[in-house]
């Protein structure tokens, strides 16, 4: 608004600004290009959050539809529970109540050339006529149509895809282990009730004719589904109200039914996932945004340098400093506005590309291969916020630069004399900075003591920087600046060692602060001591030859123009630092694969999950038969139960869905732990203690993980409350150990992303969960020379009727590590946009340098300097800046990662050593240097073609 008033009320300022925009088309294109990239990065990060948020929300449509609350009863009182809930259908807050029976089953299609089997199928028995009407006030239920007659079934698209069947084809469904042949009546989309399940993201459903489960003779779970008034998402707002009414209606049957609100959970997870991933990519993009802001600052400083004589004349004839600032600000605003729409458009494309690749990676993170299906979305709010934020950053950088460049000596500007750098700091500024420095130092003490992440880094650094004016009064300027930069750099590197818990913060801002402080302080330190750094090549520069002259010219300009050289160095250093840090973290993870496999398996190679209600051969008993002699060397059965737990890390007050696992006494003593309860000297002691102490539990190091940065949010000795959602019985548990890897205990039911394992002794699980605790999984050791993958396929084929799923644990570990590596590659690709800004900035510097040194080049050429020497000097100059920035960023990246690896809890569990990724770092450095030389090639050739006579005579 202020700039708009300036443009309207000050026509002279407006004409000055717009005239420069029209005259300087090359500079305008460069400034707009930098602003476009900055805006695109911001919009891209916000669109990633929108897309992932919307994609996770689609799970509510696919697997829930009108279902807002779900009441599961597995005891004989299932009919009573349904009867008590039926009157809710008349409640004004409820659109419908539907009761169904469900059982775990398996299905096979043997009527094709390539038989297909699916061991995990949900077999539903429900009134399809009632299902059609269920929740219709809020939209389509997703299931309806003609009730299948005897001998026919309805299947959803995921099951039809797995079995490769269509309408009219035949399948065999194993109900409680009994094979029953059916004909597929129709295939329905995975939507609403047709895609519903009991917690998985992908459900393969078959809808049976009436009475089919009853005839099979097993005990099906009774599931009553309640639809709140409103649509798929609007009905979620009534969750608390309707849940309270459900519990009231259940009355004495509350103890025999588990009431949950799956849609509320899904939508909350959608918001958390979208926000966390959007924040992650915005954090990565922040470094590119800083580089873009520096590019704008650099361009405007160079423009001011070029126009110094003109600006001096304007000031001499009476133009106020405020008018000068307004002129520069209006010029920059024109550039920033022109960049807004292209930046938003490019940001949409960047966000879509990142989201698509990320979705594939997230899908591979899921244990059963099901994962997030991408649905691209961008909200107007994100587009407006991204455009506004990009505009504000550009305008902020331009206005701040305008104030800086408006402070010049008029006579020195007219005569083009160098700026006076020896002026003493004003007394008022000295006092203010000294007082603020002391206040920051005092405030830093409690912040560091409490390991408050952002303050731990910022306050000591600010205290040192604000003390520089006072230090300049007692020591030379260069010494004071170098000392301050060195102290800030030292603290930035060692803060994570002194206070390792700074990385336990869920905020991403700490990483932006760390990288920025390290890059800026290192560049200031280098810039103030450039002459000392070029001493090793002094002999080359002193040679009385064309090469020596080119070397002297290449070093002279960066040494003379420290600000613009430093700002370009920061762009390179900052982006390279983060790229190398991501490369190093990826290398550390890859080096830890073998150790992670050992931690996750402890000699076990397969995890088996099966349906204990299936009638027929017991899979575990079959493993001990002669058919598997020599192939199976050990079997450890596990008790399984569904529970809910409080978060021991106190990150949320909502209950965590928990897979409670009961282990036989002393059976898994080889599985390693990250932390143990004091007094338990080794890992076997912890596993032995589970049998003797029913209150002891072991949890995974990702228990209750929120998606933020890794850290130690809980430790052995902390407590949690474990609840049986069916009986309502609660018990307080003490964490006796934290697993290095709990992958062997994650259930293969498709909900592993949101269900966390909690391990107890078998007796403890039976005591709390009673008949709900069943032996439904096992860990298997294979014999020497036996392929776990081949044995897994054989077991699944032999025990399809029991819905057996065999998971090779080591393969899962490798798959997850590969997915993590791919995710780091994705972030590196997103960050590479910032490196493009740095290279663009160097090209800008070269373009402006050719224009500024036009007369100097003409004089040199007139004195006999060869055109090739001029070209070589510009290429060497750009190569010198790029190489220095890349080397500085690489060194800081490796050093920062090493210090974090030594002490930070973010690297807990990664014990494969600290490899230096020489190959990727060298490739990055080489590619950056080559791109930088290519960006400088055009300006260098233009400089070589300057005609001496014209350059000396013409002002431009």
Please write down the HEC assignment for all residues of 572-607: HHHHHHHHHHHHHHHHHHHHCHHHHHHHHHCCCCEE
Taking the model in full, what pTM does it have? Answer: 0.77
> pLDDT digit string (tens) for 714-735?
889 999 999 988 778 899 999 9
Per-residue confidence band for 521, with pLDDT thresholds at 50, 70 and 90: very high
pLDDT at position 824 over 90: no
User: What is the Cα 796 distance to its own chain's centre?
Assistant: 35
Confidence class of residue 108 from pLDDT cuts 50, 70 and 90?
very high
Cβ neighbours around 150 below 10 Å, total = 11
759: pLDDT confidence band, cut at 50, 70 and 90?
very high
* pLDDT for position 698: 92
Q: What is the distance between the alpha carbons of residues 580 and 917, in angstroms, rounded to a whole number? A: 9
Lowest-confidence segment of 424-428, 541-545, 602-606 by average pLDDT: 424-428
Say if CB 558 and CB 565 are below 8 A apart.
Answer: yes
CA geometry: angle 638, 639, 644, nearest 5 deg: 125
In percent, the amount of the chain with pLDDT more than 90 equals 14
What span, in angstroms and rounded, lies between the C-alpha atoms of 906 and 585?
A: 10
Residue bearing tokens 């077991």 = 795
State whether residue 21 is helix, strand or coil. helix
Length of the chain: 956
Higher per-residue pLDDT: 655 or 695: 695
523 pLDDT above the threshold of 50: yes
Q: Place 740 in a pLDDT band, splitting at 50, 70 and 90.
A: confident
Across 312-327, average pLDDT: 73
Beta pairing, strands 116-125 & 205-207: parallel
Q: What is the mean pLDDT of residues 450-478?
A: 89
Can you tell me whether residue 663 is helix, strand or coil? Answer: strand
Q: How confident is the model at residue 491 (pLDDT cuts 50, 70, 90)?
A: very high
Torsion of CA 239, 243, 245, 249, to 10 degrees: 150
Q: Cβ of 112: how many Cβ atoms within 10 Å?
A: 12
Confidence of residue 369 (pLDDT cuts 50, 70, 90): very low
CA distance 281 to 827: 7
Q: What is the pLDDT of residue 156?
A: 92
Q: Is 43 helix (H, G, I), strand (E, B) or coil?
A: helix
DSSP β-bridge partners for residue 723: 644, 730
Q: What would the two tokens of residue 83 be?
A: 């009867």
d(C-alpha 293, C-alpha 394), whole Å: 6
pLDDT of residue 953: 62
Q: Look up tokens 């989309």; give the residue.
A: 189
Structure tokens at 56: 């996770």
Confidence of residue 506 (pLDDT cuts 50, 70, 90): low
Which pLDDT does position 906 carry in this prediction? 65
Collapse the DSSP code of 407 into the 3-class scheme (helix H, G, I; strand E, B; otherwise coil) and give the result: coil
Confidence of residue 697 (pLDDT cuts 50, 70, 90): very high
The predicted pLDDT at position 661 comes to: 92
* CB-CB contact of 819 with 361 (8 Å): yes
Give backbone dihedrals phi and psi of 888, rounded to 5 degrees, phi first: -65, -45
C-alpha distance from residue 372 to each of 59, 195, 357, 920 (Å): 8, 15, 11, 30
How many C-beta atoms surround the C-beta of residue 846 within 10 A?
A: 25
Query: Is 26's pLDDT higher than 80?
Result: no
CB within 8 Å of 467: residues ≥ 6 apart = 433, 434, 437, 484
The token pair that represents 44 in the structure block: 């891209």
Encoded tokens for 791: 């044995």
CA 942/CA 927 separation, integer angstroms: 24
Dmax over Cα atoms in the chain, in whole Å? 104
For residues 448 and 460, the answer to whether their CB atoms sit within 8 Å is: yes
Calculate mean pLDDT across residues 281-288.
78
Cα 291-297-298 angle, rounded to 5 deg:
85
pLDDT at 773: 87
pLDDT in tens, 547-606: 788 888 778 777 777 877 888 888 888 888 888 988 888 888 888 787 777 777 778 888
Instruction: Name the one residue in this structure whose structure tokens are 């803060």.
Output: 495
What angle do the packed helices 809-852 and 262-306 form, to 10 degrees?
20
Q: What are the CA-CA distances from residue 489 to residues 465, 484, 705, 899 (Å)?
A: 11, 9, 32, 13
CB 933 within 8 A of CB 619: no
pLDDT band at 8, cuts 50/70/90? Answer: low
Higher pLDDT, 627 or 734: 734
Q: DSSP string of 548-572? A: HHHHHHHHHHHHH-HHHHHHHHHHH
Q: Residue range 776-794: average pLDDT?
A: 87
Pairing mode, strands 805-808 and 774-782: unpaired
3-state secondary structure of 459: helix
- Residue 818 sits at the vertex; the CA angle it makes with 815 and 821, to the nearest 5 degrees, is 155
Cβ 24 vs Cβ 164: under 8 Å: no
52 or 161: which leads in pLDDT:
161
For residues 79-92, b (16+ Cβ closer than 10 Å) or e, as one string?
ebbbebbeebeebe
Evaluated on CA atoms 657, 659, 660, 666, the torsion sign reads negative
Please say whether the beta carbons of 100 and 225 come within 8 A.
Answer: yes
Please provide the average confidence, as pLDDT, over all residues in the chain.
81
Q: Is 340 helix (H, G, I), strand (E, B) or coil?
A: helix
Tokens of 568: 């370009």
The pLDDT of residue 425 is above 60: no
Residue 696 pLDDT exceeds 60: yes
The pair of structure tokens assigned to 57 is 């929300």
Handedness of CA 376, 382, 388, 393 (dihedral sign): negative
- pLDDT score, position 845: 75
> Cα 734–736–739 angle (5° rounding)?
125
pLDDT digits (tens, 9 = 90+) for 142-184: 887 788 888 999 999 999 998 999 999 999 999 888 899 999 9
Name the more confident of 446 and 531: 446
Output the DSSP codes for 255-312. Answer: GG-EEE-HHHHHHHHHHHHHHHHHHHHHHHHHHHHHHHHHHHHHHHHHHHHHTHHHHH
| pLDDT given at position 710 | 56
Closest CA to 125 of 46, 203, 193: 193
* Token representation of residue 323: 């008018």
Interatomic CA distance for residues 47 and 362, integer angstroms: 17
| pLDDT at residue number 839 | 81
395 C-beta neighbours (distance < 10 Å), count: 19
Highest mean pLDDT among 63-72, 280-289, 663-672, 757-766: 757-766
**Residues 6+ positions from 740 with CB-CB distance below 8 Å:** 596, 599, 600, 672, 673, 674, 701, 909
Q: How far is CA 45 from CA 276, 615, 854, in A?
A: 11, 52, 42
pLDDT in tens, 602-616: 788 888 888 887 766
| Pairing relationship of beta strands 656-663 and 756-761 according to DSSP bridges | parallel
Helix, strand, coil shares, percent, the chain, to 5? 60, 15, 25
């Amino acid at each position: 608004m202020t700039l708009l008033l300036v443009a309207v009320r000050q026509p002279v300022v407006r004409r000055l600004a717009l005239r420069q925009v029209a005259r300087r088309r090359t500079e305008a294109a460069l400034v707009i290009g930098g602003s476009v990239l900055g805006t695109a990065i911001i919009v891209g990060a916000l669109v990633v959050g929108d897309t992932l948020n919307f994609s996770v929300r689609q799970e509510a449509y696919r697997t829930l539809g009108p279902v807002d609350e779900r009441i599961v009863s597995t005891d004989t009182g299932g009919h009573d529970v349904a009867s008590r809930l039926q009157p809710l259908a008349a409640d004004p807050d409820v659109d419908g109540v539907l009761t169904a029976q469900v059982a775990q089953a398996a299905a096979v299609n043997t009527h094709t050339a390539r038989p297909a089997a699916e061991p995990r199928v949900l077999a539903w028995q429900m009134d399809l006529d009632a299902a059609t009407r269920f929740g219709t006030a809020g939209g389509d239920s997703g299931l309806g149509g003609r009730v299948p007659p005897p001998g026919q079934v309805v299947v959803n698209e995921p099951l039809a895809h797995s079995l490769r069947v269509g309408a009219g084809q035949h399948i065999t469904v194993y109900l409680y282990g009994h094979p029953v042949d059916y004909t597929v009546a129709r295939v329905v989309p995975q939507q609403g009730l047709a895609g519903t399940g009991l917690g998985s993201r992908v459900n393969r459903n078959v809808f049976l004719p009436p009475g089919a489960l009853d005839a099979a003779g097993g005990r099906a779970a009774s599931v009553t589904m309640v639809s709140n008034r409103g649509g798929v998402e609007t009905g979620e707002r009534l969750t608390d109200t309707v849940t309270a009414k459900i519990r009231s209606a259940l009355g004495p049957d509350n103890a025999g039914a588990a009431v949950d609100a799956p849609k509320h959970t899904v939508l909350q997870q959608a918001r958390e996932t979208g926000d966390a991933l959007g924040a992650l990519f915005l954090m990565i993009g922040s470094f590119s945004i800083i580089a873009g802001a520096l590019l704008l600052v650099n361009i405007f400083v160079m423009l001011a340098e070029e126009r110094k004589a003109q600006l001096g004349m304007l000031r001499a004839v009476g133009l106020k400093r405020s008018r000068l600032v307004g002129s520069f600000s209006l010029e920059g605003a024109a550039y920033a506005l022109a960049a807004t729409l292209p930046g938003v458009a490019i940001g949409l494309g960047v966000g879509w590309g990142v989201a698509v690749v990320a979705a594939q990676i997230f899908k591979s993170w899921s244990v059963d291969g099901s994962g997030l299906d991408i649905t691209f979305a961008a909200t107007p709010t994100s587009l407006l916020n991204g455009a506004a934020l990009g505009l504000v950053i550009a305008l902020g950088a331009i206005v701040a630069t305008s104030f800086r460049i408006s402070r010049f000596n008029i006579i020195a500007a007219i005569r083009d004399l160098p700026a006076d750098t020896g002026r003493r700091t004003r007394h008022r500024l000295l006092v203010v900075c000294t007082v603020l420095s002391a206040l920051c130092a005092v405030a830093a003490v409690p912040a560091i003591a409490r390991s408050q992440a952002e303050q731990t880094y910022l306050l000591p650094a600010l205290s040192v920087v604000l003390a520089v004016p006072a230090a300049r009064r007692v020591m030379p300027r260069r010494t004071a600046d170098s000392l301050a930069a060195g102290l800030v750099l030292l603290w930035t590197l060692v803060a994570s060692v002194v206070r390792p818990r700074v990385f336990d913060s869920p905020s991403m801002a700490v990483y932006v602060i760390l990288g920025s402080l390290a890059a800026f302080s290192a560049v200031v330190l280098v810039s103030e001591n450039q002459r000392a750094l070029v001493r090793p090549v002094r002999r080359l520069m002193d040679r009385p030859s064309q090469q020596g002259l080119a070397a002297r010219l290449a070093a002279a300009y960066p040494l003379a123009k420290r600000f613009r050289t430093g700002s370009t160095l920061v762009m390179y250093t900052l982006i390279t630092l983060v790229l190398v840090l991501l490369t190093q973290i990826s290398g550390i993870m890859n080096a830890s694969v073998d150790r992670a496999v050992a931690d996750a398996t402890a000699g076990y190679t397969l995890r088996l999950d099966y349906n204990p209600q299936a009638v027929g051969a017991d899979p575990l008993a079959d493993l001990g038969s002669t058919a598997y002699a020599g192939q199976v060397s050990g079997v450890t059965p596990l008790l399984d139960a569904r529970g809910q737990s409080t978060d021991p890390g106190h990150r949320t007050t909502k209950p965590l869905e928990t897979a409670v696992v009961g282990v036989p006494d002393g059976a898994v003593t080889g599985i390693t732990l990250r932390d143990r309860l004091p007094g338990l000297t080794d890992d076997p002691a912890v596993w032995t203690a589970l049998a003797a102490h029913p209150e002891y539990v072991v949890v995974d190091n990702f228990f209750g993980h929120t998606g933020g940065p890794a850290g130690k949010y809980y430790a052995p000795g902390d407590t949690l409350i474990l609840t049986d959602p069916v009986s309502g019985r609660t018990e307080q548990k003490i964490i006796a150990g934290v697993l290095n890897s709990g992958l062997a205990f994650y259930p293969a039911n498709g909900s592993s992303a949101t269900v966390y394992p909690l391990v107890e002794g078998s007796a403890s699980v039976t005591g709390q969960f009673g008949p709900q605790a069943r032996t439904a999984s096992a860990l298997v050791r294979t014999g020497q020379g036996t392929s776990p993958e081949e044995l897994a396929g054989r077991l699944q084929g032999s025990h399809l009727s029991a819905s057996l799923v065999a998971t090779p644990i080591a393969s899962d570990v490798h798959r997850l590590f590969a997915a993590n590596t791919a995710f780091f590659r994705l972030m590196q690709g997103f960050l590479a946009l910032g490196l493009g800004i740095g290279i663009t900035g160097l090209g800008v510097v070269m373009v402006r340098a050719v224009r500024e040194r036009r007369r100097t080049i003409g004089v040199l050429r007139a004195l006999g300097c060869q055109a090739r020497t001029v070209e070589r000097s510009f290429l060497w100059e750009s190569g010198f800046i790029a190489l220095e920035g890349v080397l500085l960023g690489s060194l800081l990246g490796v050093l920062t990662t090493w210090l974090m690896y030594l002490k930070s809890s973010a690297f807990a569990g990664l014990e494969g050593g600290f490899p230096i990724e020489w190959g990727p770092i060298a490739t990055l450095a080489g590619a950056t240097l080559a791109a930088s030389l290519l960006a400088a090639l055009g300006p260098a050739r233009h400089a070589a073609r300057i005609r001496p006579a014209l350059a000396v005579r013409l002002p431009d």
